Every structure is written in structure tokens, then in C-alpha cells.
Amino acid sequence: MIANLFQWCRPSELRKLGIAGMNKRNGSYIARYNPRALYPRVDDKVETKILANEFGLKVPELYGIVQYQSQVKQLGKMLEGRESFVIKPSQGSAGKGILVILGRDGEFFLKPNGEKLTLHDLQRHVSNTLSGLYSLGGRNDKAMIEYAIQFSDAFDGFSYQGVPDIRVVMFLGYPVMAMMRLSTESSDGKANLHQGAVGVGIDLITGKARSAVQHGRPIFKHPDTGRVLQELVVPHWDELILLASQCYEMCEMGYLGADIVLDKELGPLILELNARPGLAIQVANNAGLLPRLEAVENLTRAERIMASAQDRVDYAQKHFA
Amino acid sequence: MNSKVQLRILIFILAAVGIGTMLTKHFQIGYPLIPKQQIPIWTIEAKVTFQATGDPVKVSLAVPGEQARFGILEETGSSHDYGFIPAGNDPMIAGFYRSVIWSKDQAKGHQELYYRIDVYKKKSAEDVELHAPEVHPTQKYSVGQLAVAANEVITTAKRHSADSETFVGQLIQTLNNQSNQNAQTLIASAKTDLERARLLNTLIINGGFESHLIRALILSETTTKQALQPIIILIDGEERHAFVWGTPKPVKHESTLAWQRGGPSLIEVEGGKNARVEFSVVKQELPASFVLEQASRQREKTLTDFSLTSLSIEQQDSYRLLLTIPFGALIVVIMRNIIGIRTTGTFMPILLAMAFLRTNLGPGLILFVIVVSAGLTMRAYLSKLDLLLVPRISAVVVVVIGIMVGFGIVGGKFDLQIMQSVTLFPTIILSWTVERLSVLWEEDGPKEVGIQTLGSLVVAIMAYAAMGSPTLRYLVFVFPELLLVALAVILALGQYSGYRLSELMRFAPLVKDNKEGAA
């Protein structure tokens, strides 16, 4: 972090690489292509799930919703028979308030790092969630309890606890860039880069790793497991990228990030959508977004509208690899 | 129309209107751009004395109006037991003849009446439409011996002059000439300064030029018992030249306040005799803003009718603060979108800056650090007690208030001035900050809390410096149209899609990598 302070570059260098800055992303893409009225489709995960089911896109199964404080007492009953599950706020942001339980030990619930939580702890977490502690702007929220992903063996050794997920950024439905987010010890099993997760740029054709960063610096090995990140390959890649691309029809957001996880049995599942995907993906891929965004913007309306999700994936794989 | 073009036109219009109005006010009315400028003002008191005869009394005194170089701040007439009719502002009459009237049904003996007027010097002479007063040349010089002498003097002066200005010069020189018989005849008929000025005025008019007589006060330093000085104003096209008896060249008249222009005599008294008028002048320097506030109220022009200066002092105070907030917002925009500093909440820095304005910066910062650390500790404990969000924040508010009251008591005991500046307003802001930071701590860890707190503080201190600056406060208060300029700048910054300064650091490893890759 301190070392970063002494390293600067010129705006012209960034422009040459086609790096999109915050202002550019917010002004030219998010503000222009993401209508405010559609935000609930991605900000409210319950709504996303309902939509995805309608469109036949695969998502983790919803076990239940806690909407009122009075329902908090029945949490124990709701969790009966569930060995593993995830509790998350419906309108959380930046991974806030997501509690993963991977097993039980008597009356205790086990977090991925082995920490034991009581039912009481879970109830407090749900209660906080309902009172809006984790949601955007502190609004009252719902707590969702859903299927905990059994993550694929393909990522053994690439992630320290938690579910590694794949973020695909799409522009007008065209996948423009992808990265894998690997949780680390310092990110507490969470997959957010600013919390210390590792970002691995993924090749759009093959699903293979291109380059990797942690804390904004290039790295080659996973900091906790020591596995060489270059060896990482995302299985079911074509299926995954197609699933991401189909999210465009579902939520009609121009500039969209889809967070997708790979389940051992179920394959790619949409974990959540994001209308304001971050810019760290550029660092992970060691490439700028702008040339790709502009290429899509320069397509004719007919080309864009007539293209199916598969066509868009083909285009991306041809031009953005 | 393209939205970008629309936005640019809007920005241009806002900026143009804002700056234009400001400059208009500056140059037309004379609102100074720097707050501490002092403007000289003169308080002139006219003391009217007369002997009342026991009949109904009506006293009419000529008073000055708005002039090219002087503006009126305030005028009052005070006299025990007299009815007073202030001078009107009839635009046809104003400027060359205004008068105030005192009246009483009955009075006897020595009477004193006072008329007071405060005038200020305008920054630059402005055109006040002044109708030339009607001219009533004295008939005295159109008959008999005096007429012959007058004509002789005029003819002599004409022969030696080229234009109106030299003509008047020649006239005065001729009249000064001790050996000129005609001149001596004329002078012998006019004993007082006023009569001599009238003589000169009549000669000029008879010579075919335009002029009128004013009676003026020369404003310089504080004087008492000053008398009005008769001055001849020669009208030469657009120009005005002032002449006094005995000086053949025009005199400077920058500091001349024309008390009376044409019209009837200075004072008319019904029901009294031996009327005298004495003037005393007190000069003082006052802050320009104060003077202009007063002046604008006096003249009630449309532009200043809507001015904030017409509000009461307390209202003005809160508007002063309110008006600076947009500039705090401007700083937040710059720091966040151009520099890229992360802050807790978008406008938290402005609220913090407002809290600092209440407590002053030093004590505010100390208070912030102590309260926030104590609050965070407290909050950590409270969160273990399974409280819901709102009760928990409320509990933090109570704790923060407790801490602040504690400081107040300690401060009072040890007479520490800084600890007593605690008010309700910063309390709420600080409690809220504590809550925001503790949530941030739980979710993003202490590092993020450090970064964002520091960022918020830096931006808050800058906003504090701007919002507390007397210059800015003065400027936005006197020129509220600067808000339009701030809006224009904010809109313009809203279009900025370039890199933030922080991104030059954030993406630097990428550039380095690509360079190495290429090499």
C-alpha cells in the first residue's frame, strides 16, 4: 500500500492502454446505459432470483426469506435439516452481511474458517440485516437464506475458504472482460478485491488465467495456498459465459457485472448481478476496458438487437481475446 | 438538441448570468469585491435656528439629493414637538430640489431644528439624471447703470475668449480688475458671496451661455460651523465646470456636495424671523459592505430590492452559512471526482465542516478524534448487546452527548475555552459519524475506516477553510448570484470523464507491467 504511493503514471499512458476511470465508467456507461428504474432488478437479490427463474437462468436455490423481526425467532425452524446455507441481505452491497455456514457441530453452526456460531448469533445477524445494517442507504431489508454452493474441485488450492466466483462484465450483453475472484485469509473468505481477495483475469475464449493481482499488485501464486495461478482453468467455460450473456435480456442493464459461481453438481449459477461493477477487473486482466466498450458501442443497432446471446459470446471471443 | 450541447449552453448561461450580475453590481452600484474596503461617509448636520413669532410655524429647508459622486445613506429630521415631512424621492424633482418641512401650530422664542444626513462617496461617479434647474437671472442687472456696466463687462470678456470656459475665466478676471470702472460698479452692488455668485451667474447667462448656481458643502475632514459655498456650474455640452468667485480657472469639484441647486432659497420660514442655518460635518470610515447595505435600502432600486441585506441581522447570519454550503459541495465534488479521495458518505465532509465552523477547527478536530474513538469503543460494546439499528444509533447519540457534556464540565472547571464551544449541532453529526464508521469497521476493516476518516477529515478541513473564509462569506452574501457560478462549475465538473488523480496511482502497476511486457 505504502509502496503504491510512490508509483504514478501519466493520464496519457492510461489513455493509451484504454483504461476506464471511475468518472468515465459512471458518466459514459452507468449513467447512460443503466436506467435507474431497473436498479431493483439487480440491487434486490430476491427480485433477481425471481427474474432468473422466469427466464430459466440457473441460480442457487432459495430456502427462505425472513422479512419481519417477528420471523427471526423462527429462524431455527427454518434452518432445520439444512447442513449448509448462506444468509445474505437482499439489498446488500460489496459483499456486506453475507454469512456462510458450511456445517453443523451440535448446536453450533460452522463458518468456513471453523468459527462456531450459535443460533443466537445467526438471529442477531438476521435481525441486523432486517434493520438495514448491510443494505444500501440503511433501508430496511429482507434476509435471504439460500443454497450454499458446493464449489467445484477445479479450484482446489486456488481459494482459501469461501466460494471463488467469476465476474463477467458485459456491455449491451456482450461479455467484455472476465475475472475470477479468489478469497484469501485476509479477505475472510469473501471474494471482494478491496477486502484482499485475489483477482485473476480470465481469457474469454478458453477460460484460462491470464494474469493475477492482489491489493492492486501483480502476483503469481495464491498467497495462502501457494498454487501457481497461471494453472487456473475455469471448467464449463462456454456454458458459463453464455449464462452471463443471457443476463442482459433478463435485466436490460447496458453495463452489467454478473457474478457466477461453479457448483460441483449444478455447474454455473448466477450468484448476483451488479449494476456498478468495479474497475479492478482491468488490473486483473492487465488490459483496459475502453477499446472493447467502444467496439460494442460502434456496432449498428441492427447488429446488436438481432444478435442472440450465443452470437454475442461468439463476437466477444473473436474480438476481445 | 444533443444533451451535451444543452448542458454546455446551460453552463454558459449560468456562468454568464452569475458573473454578469456580479460585475453589474460591482460597477453600477459599487459593491466592492474585497470585503474589508472602507468607504468614507460624512454625517452632516444642519442646525436651523430662528425666532418664532408666536404664529403657526412652517419651515422649509432645501436638502441634497442623490448625486453623481455622493449617495445618501440615511436622513432624519429631529426636532422636539415639530411635525416633520421628509423629502420625497420624486424622480422629476429629486436631485435638484428636495426639501424637508417642519411645522407646528404655534411657537414663540428661540427655536432649533436639526436635519441630519449621512452621505457616502461613490467609488466612481455615476450618471444621475439631473434636470437643469430653471434659471431665474436676477432682474437687478437689466436696468439702468448696472445693465450698462454688465453689458460692458460681457463684451470685454467675449472679446478675449474663445469658448464658454474661457469666457467665464475672462469674466472673473475682469471683475477682479480693481481699475475697471464697470467691474467696480457691479461689485459694489453685490456685497455677499452669494450675491456675487448670482451676479456672475447672471453675466454668464446674459453672455449667452448656460449655467446655474449651486450652494455646496466641501466635504473633507470633520468641521463645524461650515457655511454653504456658492458655486457656479457652467454647462458646456456634456461637461460641467465649477467656478467660484475670484478664481478664473474651473475648480475641482470631486468633493463638492451640492446641497441646493436652483429652486427657491435655502430656507423659508413662515412664522419666524432671523433664520440661520449652520452645518457641521463629521467624517468617518465604515466597512463598504455596511455602507452599501444601507445605501441600497435607501434607494430601493429593483436590483437590490431582493437583496439579502433587507433581512434582519439574525436571518442574515444563517443565510451567510447557508450560502457557503454550495461551495463546500463544490470542494467535495473536486476532491472526490477529480482528486479521488474516498470519504465516508458523500456529504459527510460538509456536515463535519459545518460542525467545525461551530467549534472552530482546533477544538473541533480534538473533539472529533476523542468522541469518535470513544464512540467506536462504546459502539463495539453495544453491538454485542443485540440491539437493533435505530436504538443502537440512539444509544450512541446518548453516549456521544455524555462525552461532550463531560468535556463541557471539565472545560468549565479548568476554564478551557475550547471545551465550551460544544453545541447540539455537532453532536448529532458526530454521533452519526461514529455509527457510519463502526459499520464500516465491521464490514471493511480498520484500514478502510482509516482511509475514509482521513479522507473525510481532509475534505472537511478544506470545506471548512472555504466556508469559513470571510472573503467567501462576504462575496456570496453580497453577490448571491455567485451560486449560479458555483452551479455552473459543478455542472461542468459533472461532465469530466477523465482520470482521477488517485487512479494515476491505482493503475500505475498496469502501465508498468505493459511497459515491461513490451520491452
CA–CA distance, A99 with A112 (Å, rounded to integer): 9
Neighbour count for residue B34 (Cβ, 10 Å): 9
Which of B447, B508, B513 shows the shortest C-beta gap to A8?
A: B508
Confidence of residue B308 (pLDDT cuts 50, 70, 90): low
Cβ atoms of B482 and B14 within 8 Å: the answer is no
Q: Vertex B353, ends B411 and B365: CA angle to 5°?
A: 40
- pLDDT value of residue B294: 67
Looking at chain B, the whole-number percentage of residues with pLDDT higher than 90 is: 8
Tell whether A24 is within 8 A of chain B (Cβ): yes
Confidence of residue B316 (pLDDT cuts 50, 70, 90): low
CA–CA distance, B516 with B76 (Å, rounded to integer): 84
Listed by start position, the domains of chain B span 38-132+263-310, 139-216+228-255, 313-480
Q: Give the strand pairing for B70-78 and B108-121.
A: antiparallel
Strand partners, B277: B48
Cell of B403: 462525552
Backbone angles phi and psi of A96, in degrees to 5: -70, 140
CA B373 to chain centre: 46
Region B306-325 average pLDDT: 67
CA–CA distance, B107 with B51 (Å, rounded to integer): 9
Tell whether A169 is within 8 A of chain B (Cβ): no
Instruction: For residue A288, give the chain B residue with the closest CA.
Output: B510
Neighbour count for residue B190 (Cβ, 10 Å): 21
CA–CA distance, A249 with A15 (Å, rounded to integer): 31
CA–CA distance, B458 with B250 (Å, rounded to integer): 62
Neighbour count for residue B142 (Cβ, 10 Å): 13
Cβ atoms of B159 and B227 within 8 Å: the answer is no
CA–CA distance, A274 with A278 (Å, rounded to integer): 9
Which of A5, A14, A216 shows the shortest C-beta gap to B499?
A: A14
Stretch 249-268 of chain A: residues touching chain B, C-beta under 8 Å: none
pLDDT in tens, B265-302: 778 888 888 888 888 877 777 666 666 666 666 655 44
Neighbour count for residue A140 (Cβ, 10 Å): 14
B312: alpha, beta or left? (left if phi > 0; alpha if psi -120 to 50): beta
Calculate the alpha carbon distances from B207 to A84, A310, B201 in Å.
115, 104, 10
Which of A17, A124, A195 shows the shortest C-beta gap to B514?
A: A17
DSSP H/E element including B153? helix B144-159
Which of A9, A24, A69 shows the shortest C-beta gap to B508?
A: A9
- pLDDT value of residue B90: 58
pLDDT in tens, B138-149: 666 666 777 777
- pLDDT value of residue A244: 94
The residue written with cell numbers 454568464 in the block is B16
Mapped onto helix, strand or coil, the DSSP state of residue A146 is: strand
Tell whether B495 is within 8 A of chain A (Cβ): yes
Tell whether B450 is within 8 A of chain A (Cβ): no
> Which long-range contacts (C-beta less than 8 Å, at least 24 apart) are formed by B162-165?
B163/B236, B164/B209, B164/B234, B164/B236, B164/B241, B165/B234, B165/B236, B165/B241, B165/B250
Residue among A61, A268, A58 nearest A178 (CA):
A268
pLDDT in tens, B453-466: 999 999 999 999 98
CA–CA distance, B249 with B232 (Å, rounded to integer): 12
| Cβ-defined contact of B510 to A4 (cutoff 8 Å) | no
B128 pLDDT more than 60: no
Cell of A129: 440485516
Mapped onto helix, strand or coil, the DSSP state of residue B33 is: coil
B416 pLDDT more than 60: no
Q: What is the 3-state secondary structure (H, E, C) of B242-288?
A: EECCCCCCCECCCCEEEEEECCCCCEEEECEEEEEEEEEEEEEEEEH
CA–CA distance, B463 with B347 (Å, rounded to integer): 11
Cβ atoms of A222 and A182 within 8 Å: the answer is yes
- Dihedral (CA of A117, A119, A124, A127) sign: positive
Confidence of residue B175 (pLDDT cuts 50, 70, 90): confident
CA–CA distance, B86 with B209 (Å, rounded to integer): 35
| Cβ-defined contact of A21 to B494 (cutoff 8 Å) | no
Q: In what order do the strands lie in the sheet with B70-78?
A: B70-78, B108-121, B38-53, B272-287, B223-226
Residue B484 distance to chain A (closest CA, Å): 23
| Cβ-defined contact of A14 to B511 (cutoff 8 Å) | yes
Please tell me the CATH code under which domain B38-132+263-310 is placed. 2.60.40.2250
pLDDT in tens, B199-252: 777 777 777 777 777 788 877 776 777 777 788 777 777 777 777 777 777 777
CA–CA distance, A127 with A130 (Å, rounded to integer): 5
| Cβ-defined contact of A21 to B505 (cutoff 8 Å) | no
pTM: 0.63
B60 pLDDT more than 90: no
Cell of A158: 486456488
CB within 8 Å of A111: residues ≥ 6 apart: A99, A100, A101, A102, A117, A189
| Cβ-defined contact of A17 to B506 (cutoff 8 Å) | no
Calculate the alpha carbon distances from B303 to A309, B24, B92, B120, B227 in Å.
62, 10, 21, 20, 37
Residue among B269, B254, B453 nearest B349 (CA):
B453
B177: which DSSP letter?
Answer: -
Q: Which of A1, A4, A22 would best serve as a mutation to test chain B binding (most B beta carbons within 10 A)?
A: A22
If chain A, 321 residues long, is cut into consecutive pieces of 10 residues, what is the mean pLDDT of each piece? 65 88 90 91 89 92 89 86 88 75 87 86 87 70 88 80 84 93 79 82 91 85 86 90 94 92 90 88 90 93 90 92 73
Backbone angles phi and psi of B85, in degrees to 5: -110, 110
Helices (H) and strands (E) counted in chain B, each on its own, are 16, 13
CA A177 to chain centre: 13
Q: How many CA atoms does the CB half-sphere of A262 hold within 13 Å?
A: 23
Ordered by where they begin, the domains of chain A are: 14-42+152-319 (3.30.470.20), 61-146 (3.30.1490)
DSSP H/E element including B8? helix B3-24
CA–CA distance, A251 with A130 (Å, rounded to integer): 25
CB within 8 Å of A230: residues ≥ 6 apart: A209, A212, A220
CA–CA distance, B295 with B289 (Å, rounded to integer): 10
- pLDDT value of residue A290: 93
CA–CA distance, B177 with B157 (Å, rounded to integer): 12
Mapped onto helix, strand or coil, the DSSP state of residue A230 is: helix
